[in-house]
Amino acid sequence: MKLARKYLPQIAGALLVFSTVALLTPRTMHALAAALVQVTNTLANPAITQDSSRAASQIVLLHTPFGSQVPGGQEVAMVQVIPTQGDAPTAYVVPSGQNLVLTGVDFDVNTASPNTFVDLRHSLSNNGLFADEIFSLPNAGHQEFRFPSGIVIPAGSSVHIDNGNAGASTLQAVVQGYLTAN
């Protein structure tokens, strides 16, 4: 008993030193951190493993209504393409609490005039049209434009294509983007 009392402080100190060294080693720290940050990924509560621009539920595809041609001098509101149902019956409106980030637009100019000027616009709850991008399409054919940083369209807005040429140019448009939280 006397022996245990005599050496107890030294044994406790040695255990404390060994415990501290063991905690400071990389493998132990990694295991400790992994235990604290473990995520459970279930169907009821999925963990997000990719950014919102890649999530299928957030991708938005818009095009001219029912594949129609936009004659020169006219403007149309874009409709959403719903994968299992086809075209939505009304113009697409960005849901409240979200923004639509446009990442690209494709134009098919069917008849050409010297230059076809096209405006990509958005309308915010009848507050008028705001021009987001203006394109000059030099000839008939397919033209693609990509926006790496995106064009943000606010909640409550609809997306419009305005074929600014009063001439004979007709075109179709497809707009790609994704939804994000405000």
Tokens of 141: 């054919």
Which CATH architecture group holds 53-181? Sandwich (2.60)
Average model confidence (pLDDT) for the chain? Answer: 77
Dihedral pair phi/psi, residue 175, rounded to 5°: -115, 130
Beta bridge partners of 70: 171
Residue 92 burial class via C-beta count within 10 angstroms: exposed 0-12, middle 13-18, buried 19 and up: buried
Dump pLDDT digits (tens) for 34-83: 666 666 666 666 666 666 556 667 889 898 886 677 877 788 888 898 87
CA angle 133, 138, 144 (to 5 degrees): 55
pLDDT of 95 reads: 92
3-state helix, strand, coil in the chain (%, to 5): 25, 45, 30
Tokens of 35: 């235990």
Domain positions in the chain are 2-36, 53-181
* One pLDDT digit (tens) per residue for the chain, 182 residues: 666 677 777 887 777 766 776 666 667 666 766 666 666 666 666 666 666 556 667 889 898 886 677 877 788 888 898 878 877 888 899 999 999 999 999 988 876 666 677 878 777 766 666 767 888 777 778 889 898 888 888 888 888 888 876 666 778 888 999 998 87
